[in-house]
């Protein structure tokens, strides 16, 4: 296999894009463009994070800029999703729910920055290692919510027959 292909596969397995792939495929087949757009934007931001992760760690020796970049990445995602929700390009309920889930991430990133460098403490270590994966997992769940809703609706209609 070519090195670029193996590198691409390793990026996909390290990021949430691999887990979002079935949702992208199903939303495309169902022609649910609103859910597809939300999932694609989320997957692109996860992919961007996976692509810059190693070089950001290498560049950021004092551990300052990585938290600013990750906080900005989360805020940019929230702004784009809000814009798309207002313009009816994604489900508004999904946009609001996604923003409510992710709002903790930039706050946590900036708290981690202040905790490590301004206060020189380590209060945020366990919160950071615990809450950030929960926030990312919840964001992926929000991407799958239109499918869950569809299955629940089909189940109820099948039971009523």
Q: How many domains does one find in the chain?
A: 1
Does residue 131 lie within any of the structural domains? yes
Residues present in the chain in total? 161
Domain that holds residue 128: 29-144
- Geometric angle at alpha carbon 105, from 104 and 107, rounded to 5°: 65
Does residue 61 lie within any of the structural domains? yes
Does residue 18 lie within any of the structural domains? no
Which residue is it, tokens 């950001």? 56
Does residue 44 lie within any of the structural domains? yes
* pTM summary value: 0.85
Does residue 155 lie within any of the structural domains? no
Q: What is the pLDDT along the chain (161 residues), one digit of tens a residue?
A: 677 777 776 666 667 788 888 999 999 999 999 999 999 999 999 989 888 887 888 887 777 888 899 999 999 999 999 999 999 999 999 999 999 999 999 999 988 888 877 777 777 778 888 888 899 999 999 999 999 888 888 777 777 76
- The Cα–Cα gap between 156 and 144 comes to 19
């Amino acid at each position: 296999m070519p090195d670029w292909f193996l590198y691409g596969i390793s990026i996909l397995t390290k990021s949430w894009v691999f887990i979002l792939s079935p949702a992208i495929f199903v939303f495309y087949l169902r022609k649910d463009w609103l859910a597809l757009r939300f999932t694609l934007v989320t997957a692109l931001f996860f992919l961007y994070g996976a692509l810059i992760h190693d070089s950001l760690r290498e560049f950021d020796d004092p551990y300052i800029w990585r938290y600013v970049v990750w906080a900005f990445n989360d805020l940019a995602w929230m702004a784009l999703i809000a814009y798309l929700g207002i313009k009816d390009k994604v489900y508004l309920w999904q946009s609001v729910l996604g923003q409510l889930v992710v709002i903790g991430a930039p706050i946590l990133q900036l708290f981690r920055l202040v905790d490590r460098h301004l206060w020189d403490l380590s209060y945020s270590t366990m919160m950071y290692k615990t809450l950030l994966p929960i926030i990312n997992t919840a964001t992926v769940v929000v991407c799958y919510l239109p499918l869950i809703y569809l299955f629940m609706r089909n189940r109820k209609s099948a039971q009523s027959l």
